[in-house]
Chains A and B, each alone.
Chain A
Amino acid sequence: MADKILKELTLKIWRQKDAKSKGGFETYKIHNVSTGSSFLEMLDILNEQLVSENKEPVAFDHDCREGICGTCSLFIDGRAHGPDDDVTTCQLHMRRFEDGATITIEPWRCGAFPVIKDLIVDRGAYEKILQAGGYVSVNTGGVPDGNAIPIPKDKADEAMDAAACIGCGACAATCKNSSAMLFVAAKVSQLALLPQGKVEAARRAKAMVAKMDELGFGNCTNTGACESECPKSISIEHIARLNREFLKAKLKD
């Protein structure tokens, strides 16, 4: 685990004062970054440097820094969550970069995710989609025993594959059409696979798709880019299931 030192990096970062302002790129140089540092630790170093120069640090979203909360959301060198596959930005490490590299950092670009400040976007649209139907309508209490309904292991596993979604927004951010289908599919598919969720599967699929369309996400053209950039490798086979669920529901209407 011998870490090396990257002597100099050039960072091209999108800066934008607030939602209303017009933003632009700023270029910064930073020095002596350990390859063992994470990408966000590298930004911490930049921010320390900016504070010492009495400048405002770069605002970026981050929280758990272990790849599960889904808060971090950077578009690095043309790719969501950077050049590595199957990771979030916070799991990206500096050993992935060469000394002297120029790194371009942008916020998610998607009409439904407006920029709030610098690299921070508002992903409230995803919240609204889930509120439209991403749940099983049960109240607390009065439910049957956990083992009352056996669920085949393969179905439970497949539901878990879909449920692994962290809601980071990389799918819509990377999709050339800004489509949120993978996100919506993950939830619809998870619940459609489980007997508990099947009961209201039709209603859910229709409501969530309608909300997704209403919020101005684009249309899926099955490029598969979302699947490649998804930090949790959620498969677009779930999109096929969403299509199935939606069409089934609509044909019954």
Chain B
Amino acid sequence: MTELNAKIPAGPLAEKWSNHKAHIGVVSPANKKKLDIIVVGTGLAGGSAAASLAELGYNVTAFCYQDSPRRAHSIAAQGGINAAKNYTNDNDSVYRLFYETIKGGDYRAREANVYRLAEVSNNIIDQCVAQGVPFARDYGGLLANRSFGGALVSRTFYARGQTGQQLLLGCYSAMNRQIAKGKVKVYNRHEVLDVVVVDGKARGVIARNLVTGQIERFGAHAVVLATGGYGNVFFLSTNAMGCNGSAAWQAYKRGAMFGNPCFVQIHPTCIPVHGEQQSKLTLMSESLRNDGRVWVPKKIEDAKKLQKGELNPNDIPDEDRDFYLERRYPAFGNLVPRDVASRAAKERCDAGFGVNNTGKAVFLDFKYAIKELGEDVIRERYGNLFQMYEKITAVDPYHNPMMIYPAIHYSMGGLWVDYNLMTTIPGLYAIGECNFSDHGANRLGASALMQGLADGYFILPYTIGDYLANEIRTPKINTNTKEFDEAEKHVTDRLRKLYDIKGTKSPDHFHKLLGHIMWDYIGMARDKAGLEKAIKMIADLKAEFYKDLRITGEFTAMNNELEKAGRVADFFEIADLMARDALNRNESCGGHFRLESVTEEGEAKRDDEHYAYVSVWEYKGDNQDPEMHKEPLVFENIKLAQRSYK
């Protein structure tokens, strides 16, 4: 199964999706009722897919590890959602959104997928408004927009600083309507730990009931993974504590290939790390860069004094402040894409100009915006973010500059899917952050929500029909078969193995150590020597993990430590694949920055001649190296250019 067929429809870019839809298979309403679909994860992608599929008539079984679908981590997205509505009359269009997304992704995404994403973006806004999502509005009663990084137009729709929450509650409500109708059955507090493949097709999942500890099996005609990203491999990230890559990773081990694992996004505006006791990082929305100015001191001695707490940042005059983003990138200024902003912050901090007692932070200052617009306007725009900042740091951001630092935020890489969002296992789909498809090497702000909902509302419900049209004669999936037995045993054995180690250290202990390796060697800057070293270190730590792990509590009962251990075990393997992928890609693109590949000015240097492809990894067995395949990226409509935001 080394043949990768992306199934990108022929024809002009703008007509691909409509042509494709017109020609794919469709299941009749009477047959939809006979077909079961499993959706794993209930964030924007999974929730919207579950609701839409159930509305169509399919029987949907959905899973989430949280106690309610409403708590999926999409809820934490703050800033907004993009759409090419052009309500602001600033010359936006589907093409411009498409172009900026491809460019923002540093030309490492598929043209056809991204164009389709831009095309359906407008429908998402309409859909959400119809569901009762209270988007921000102007006094005239029409929808308001704001700007986001990497875009030359204002196309971001928002609901205060809680856009993700409102969109998620929208699709959760659509899901609730289907639950009430009996078309969706949700299994809360269930973690999917394996995908069952029967005769080469995905036919079910094995899940652990997190309340009772029982291992349970579920069958369906198709399985949709909407499990989000694997950013928690870094231990400290903006992901929720429970976010994990386990379901996707097990799918990988069952034959679904993994695309671009090294592409992870580092978000420039997070609250800096306070110390060793820290468990997670809190994001400050990118929208803050609309009105905040990023700076560090010009003089190294000022930076030193700030680090020692001997100087108040407000006492540094403007002429001694280095607004380095405005200086380096005058065209986009503070609104450069995330990867660029993150690296610029790291560059200043590495040069010794960082602030905070750690020297690992830069200022995001609202003094200028408050002077221009007044405190009330700023309060209305960002009140809840400012409040959150003050709660965490005990510093009032209205009167003192915020301190921010980059942190792991999103994984662009993920399960490889074709144009239909199907993985290399027939009948297994991956949507939202879980797949690799739309963001290339860097995601633009406010595009994750767009992609999740595009996949779930408007793409998967069509494309899955193409596969299921051939499954209408397949009876209900019987879960009492040897494939299900084998998969269940595999899950139980794996957990049992971890449980029986009876060492001395908790899963968190190992997770933290893994996080340090990741941040130091596979973080914002990577090089060959470091990556090779990291692969070795990860292997050593993994060996140590399997020798010295301790899981207390009972095996067949609610056991958070056992849950964590399973996730950490998978993180080791994901980390290894990320390092391999990063090592292979000897170019700098988007969030992937290789120290070997920079321009004379120190900017990232892409190498289109050698790396204009998706690296697609195939699992070959536990003790064998994975095999890499290439899906060449063909750009028919966009001319590749070195990205410039100057």
- B174, B277, B282: which contacts A34 (Cβ < 8 A)? B277
Name, among B135, B176, B179, the residue most crowded by chain A CB atoms within 10 Å (CB to CB): B176
User: Which residue of chain B is the closest to A51 with respect to CB atoms?
Assistant: B506
A84-B391, A124-B68 are known; give 16 further A-B pairs, CB within 8 A.
A61-B67, A66-B76, A71-B67, A87-B391, A131-B177, A140-B52, A146-B157, A147-B143, A150-B137, A150-B141, A150-B142, A159-B134, A163-B166, A167-B71, A190-B134, A196-B131
Bound complex: CA of A86 vs CA of B391, how far in Å?
Answer: 10
The answer to whether A65 has its CB under 8 Å from any CB of chain B is yes
Shortest distance from the beta carbon of A221 to any chain B beta carbon, whole Å: 27
The answer to whether A213 has its CB under 8 Å from any CB of chain B is no
Q: Which of B217-225, B555-563, B602-610 contacts A (4 or more CB under 8 A)?
A: B555-563
Q: B125-142 vs A: 1/0 string, CB under 8 Å?
A: 111111111111111111
The answer to whether A166 has its CB under 8 Å from any CB of chain B is yes
The answer to whether B169 has its CB under 8 Å from any CB of chain A is yes
B73 — which chain A residues lie within 8 A by C-beta? 63-64, 69
B160 — which chain A residues lie within 8 A by C-beta? 160, 164
Q: Which of B194-202, B321-329, B392-400, B586-594 contacts A (4 or more CB under 8 A)?
A: B392-400
Within 8 A of B (CB), among A124-156: 124, 126-127, 130-132, 134-141, 143-147, 150-153, 156
Q: How large is the interface on A (under 10, 10 to 19, 20 to 34, 35 or more residues)?
A: 35 or more
Bound complex: CA of A56 vs CA of B136, how far in Å?
Answer: 46
Bound complex: CA of A145 vs CA of B142, how far in Å?
Answer: 11
Shortest distance from the beta carbon of A202 to any chain B beta carbon, whole Å: 16
The answer to whether A103 has its CB under 8 Å from any CB of chain B is no
Binding site for A on B (CB under 8 A): 48, 51-52, 55, 66-68, 70-73, 75-76, 85, 87, 123, 125-143, 157, 159-160, 162, 164-166, 169, 172-174, 176-177, 179-180, 188, 211, 238, 240-242, 274-275, 277-280, 282-283, 309, 356-357, 387-388, 391-395, 457-458, 461, 504, 506, 508-509, 550, 552-553, 557-558, 560-561
Closest 9 CB pairs of A and B: A150-B141, A135-B173, A143-B130, A160-B134, A159-B134, A36-B274, A146-B129, A140-B52, A56-B553
A144 touching B130 in the complex, CB below 8 Å, given contacts A34-B275, A163-B159: yes
Within 8 A of B (CB), among A14-71: 18, 33-34, 36-38, 40-41, 44-45, 47-48, 50-52, 54-57, 59, 61-71
- Are A135 and B176 neighbours in the complex by a CB distance under 8 Å? yes
Shortest distance from the beta carbon of A230 to any chain B beta carbon, whole Å: 14
Within 8 A of B (CB), among A206-220: none
Shortest distance from the beta carbon of B313 to any chain A beta carbon, whole Å: 12
- Are A131 and B241 neighbours in the complex by a CB distance under 8 Å? no
- Are B561 and A57 neighbours in the complex by a CB distance under 8 Å? yes
Shortest distance from the beta carbon of B331 to any chain A beta carbon, whole Å: 30
The answer to whether A3 has its CB under 8 Å from any CB of chain B is yes
A66 touching B560 in the complex, CB below 8 Å, given contacts A1-B394, A44-B508, A57-B553: no
The answer to whether A191 has its CB under 8 Å from any CB of chain B is yes
- Are A146 and B508 neighbours in the complex by a CB distance under 8 Å? no
- Are B277 and A33 neighbours in the complex by a CB distance under 8 Å? yes
A33 — which chain B residues lie within 8 A by C-beta? 277
Shortest distance from the beta carbon of A196 to any chain B beta carbon, whole Å: 5
The answer to whether A123 has its CB under 8 Å from any CB of chain B is yes
- Are A51 and B561 neighbours in the complex by a CB distance under 8 Å? yes
A196 touching B282 in the complex, CB below 8 Å, given contacts A48-B508, A54-B550, A64-B76: no
Bound complex: CA of A124 vs CA of B558, how far in Å?
Answer: 17
A135 touching B174 in the complex, CB below 8 Å, given contacts A140-B52, A152-B141: yes
- Are B126 and A34 neighbours in the complex by a CB distance under 8 Å? no
- Are B141 and A151 neighbours in the complex by a CB distance under 8 Å? yes
Bound complex: CA of A99 vs CA of B318, how far in Å?
Answer: 41
Bound complex: CA of A129 vs CA of B356, how far in Å?
Answer: 46
Q: Can you sample 8 A-B contacts with CB below 8 Å?
A: A63-B71, A65-B280, A68-B75, A69-B73, A116-B211, A122-B67, A131-B180, A190-B134
- B135, B179, B274, B504: which contacts A1 (Cβ < 8 A)? B274
Within 8 A of B (CB), among A79-132: 84, 86-87, 91, 93, 95, 116-117, 120, 122-124, 126-127, 130-132
- Are A70 and B558 neighbours in the complex by a CB distance under 8 Å? no
User: Which residue of chain A is the closest to B164 with respect to CB atoms?
Assistant: A68
A144 — which chain B residues lie within 8 A by C-beta? 126, 130
- A1, A117, A150: which contacts B356 (Cβ < 8 A)? A1
- Are A57 and B560 neighbours in the complex by a CB distance under 8 Å? yes
- Are B129 and A62 neighbours in the complex by a CB distance under 8 Å? no
A87 — which chain B residues lie within 8 A by C-beta? 391
B71 — which chain A residues lie within 8 A by C-beta? 63-64, 69-71, 167
A140 touching B87 in the complex, CB below 8 Å, given contacts A44-B279, A63-B241, A127-B68: no
